[in-house]
Structure 1
Amino acid sequence: MTKITASAIFFLLLFSRFLGDGVSLEMEVPDTVQAGTEFPVFITLNKSNIEGFARFSQDLPYGLSAAAEPGLPGEFLYEDNKVKVIWLSLPPEEKIQLKYKISVVEYVKGSFTLEGKFAYIENNERKILEIPPRKIYIRPSPGVDPSKITDIQEYGQLIARQEIPAQQTPAKAEPEKEPTLSASSSVSRVENVYHGNAMCLRQHPEKGSDNGISGYRVNLLIHKGTMDKYAKIEEYIPEGYTAMALETQTGLFTFEDGVAKFMYLKLPEKSDFIISYLLVPVNAPTGKEPVIDGAISYVIKDKTYTSKIIECSEDLASLDREGINRLLATVNKKTVPAEITRTPSVLTTQKGKTGSGSSYAARTYSAEKKKYPYLRRHLESYESYLLEPEEGVYFRIQIAAGHTPINVKTYFRKMHITENIRIEKHEGWYKYSVGSFKDYKSARDYRVKIWNNTLAKDAFITAYHNGKRITVQEALMITNQPWVK
């Protein structure tokens, strides 16, 4: 795929949007592009004095894909036709500039719109700044038979009907995401005991309000026990409700895809603390109280545990030290139900499937040999490349992914990659990665080496915990490592 440069053929347009708090977002893109090429996108964020967690996102239509340019500030992800740049903590500079490239397949033509959103937290309130949509025209590729060219809008519809594959190339980098949790998620077994005398209790939701917004107040009591610095609380909110933070105790609160999440890089010093959120009905059924499931993930001596949050009827905010001790002692004597109706993301390997490592992958390949006889010669060789699980947290470099298997030796030899390649089947993708690193900086340096010496220009870092994929952000939190540009 060839690059295009600015010329008289098209011109760059500048779009911006401002909020009253001084935060602004600008996007610079070409007005016209040619199929079979790639074009640059420049995003300029003037963040004013905001800090902490933030995220930029941009949806792309089918037929387009994105890759970061080296040196992009923040963690760049491209998944499910969505560009994401995530910051656990925004850089101190007031102006942040993002540059990435968007590739256009050679079989499309027509117009599409490009926009973007910047989400951030200010005064415990989630705010969103949007870039107005802008139409970009794709000129047909002169080297492609016109009868094989499809309008980009129809191209997406054909993929949705599975009349053409989602990707024209045999393998494409497809970044890792934190698995989403939906009402259809399979039941997962979570530990029915707490470790290190740690515990999380939920007070039964009670009707309340905040700043004129009515809903159900939910209090959570966290008893640290011997927890180390990192902890994550996930509350799985029933359909028809949204959630807003009331008390975070210095934690980061987010609500997305039906999950209210509190994350701590460093837990408060107190042995017990209370956090809370407001459950706000949006389209909830009347006459029924909300039922909430939840789990807490925490670290003790470099090992991560996930346990169910226990609901009680006590007024947690009114308890003194003696009352908390009495409640904890009472709960410890009871059996905690082991099943929750949604899966904590830290434990997820594949939606609806259990198992990890080479044994699960081998079963998957065996089944696909029968389903796709014409792929058998590739699948048989795959078993020698299967990714084996390792202990603890570690990082790898993903170099490609595809929905169908390829000849590993031939394909990656053409990309000038001679490293020890390993394969895993994850969320419907064959994913190819190299290297294994305990510290993020070493992984970052190796990724740069891949960028500089091979054709895998969109290689990126993935993270694992005991053989299971997790987000890079979560891996950094668990290991207390800094993010390195």
Structure 2
Amino acid sequence: MIKQLFLIVNFVSIFFYQLFFTSDVTVKQNMPASIQPNGEVEVELVITKADIAGFAKIQQEIPEGFVVEPIETAGATFSFKEQKLKLIWMALPQNSEFSIRYKLKNVSHSSGKYTITGKFSYIADNERMNVDIPTSNITVSTEELVAEETESSSNTEDEESRLPASNNTETSLSASRNIDNVGDNKFKVTLNINKENVEGFAKLSEFIPVGFIASNNNSAGGVFSVENNEVKVLWLSVPTENSFEISYFIESTSASGMQEITGVLSYLKGEETQKHQIVATNFSVAGESLASNDTEDKEVEETSLQNKVDNKVEEDIEDDLVVDNTEEKTKRTTPVTNTPAPEKNVIYKVQVGAFREGITIERYQKKFKLNDQINLENHQGWTKLITGSFSEYKSARDKRNNLRSKVKTAFVTAYNQGERITVQEALMITNQKWVQ
């Protein structure tokens, strides 16, 4: 009886989990099974989006010898370049289900079976989510192959002109910043961005002075965020226009006098991140400084739980050091330096602790019975204890889960060429899925 009751409870739990937590976002692809040489067919994608909204993108890999032309894009921006079909929405249609259609044209006489794959990407809870589009196969039939190569060289030239351009294209990027005083110590920051042959993931980082808060005005379809006086705009796919503008507001809470904003614009060229430094812009804040007690930098806390645990760890370790003073006096005065080798590309790690005061790795490992190699990292005034190095988020997640049996506040961090970035950015750059 108890066993049957357990099975029933388990079944009901699975049912409600799937009902409330399984994604309802699906993509169905309708495509004919065959196409004639130099023929064309119509392809339809039916998207069921549930309650998601905002930015989204469809990308499909089209085989060589085929080109596409839009029929119905449901408000998306259409592009076809280097055999990649892209449809980008700044805001998805309101209907929970909609479809897009395009022509698939065969411009080659080569017969055979071809495969078309793709993904539907969207943003949910500030995370990039991907839905695989079901793979479709299409066969080029040879029944009506009537191409006479000597008959029409103009047709051949026309077909070649419709094939995508070469991959060897030069990229260029530039940006300028303008700061306007809109009154009451509030300023509008506008950036004009000019690009050529830059597409896909991009990130703008603006470093505003201490004593200011920032808010979004126009992010040009990007995801806007502010953290530790860094304004970020992330694009899953940078706007297709060669020139576009973004803007945000900053407001002084405790600053006065001459101030400065610097910035960096990053994008992907192949698999490597390219960075463009934006020239610093100075501006003046009128009025006297606010109360000096309020102008001191406040400590930036990782999370309230992390700090509570870390403070307790510091107290416990200090107690241990007092007890072992005569035994460890020399050892405590010897600084511990673990300098990892320089890293390339995107790496995921696990943070197990963060302290304002100096900390020894040996004591921390002993306290939490950690056998893993731990490196020290200085970041935003904190001494952080980091372990592991993974190219996949899932592997870092598994390591974090394993460590949480000893350190409950362990969490995943991310780095791009040695520079710490958010996990969200890393997932976008590496085109990986977030998993709990």
TM over 0.5: no
TM-score interval, normalised by the smaller of the two chains = 0.3 to 0.5
Asked which structure has the greater CA Rg, the reply is 2
TM-score between the two structures when normalised by the length of structure 2: 0.43
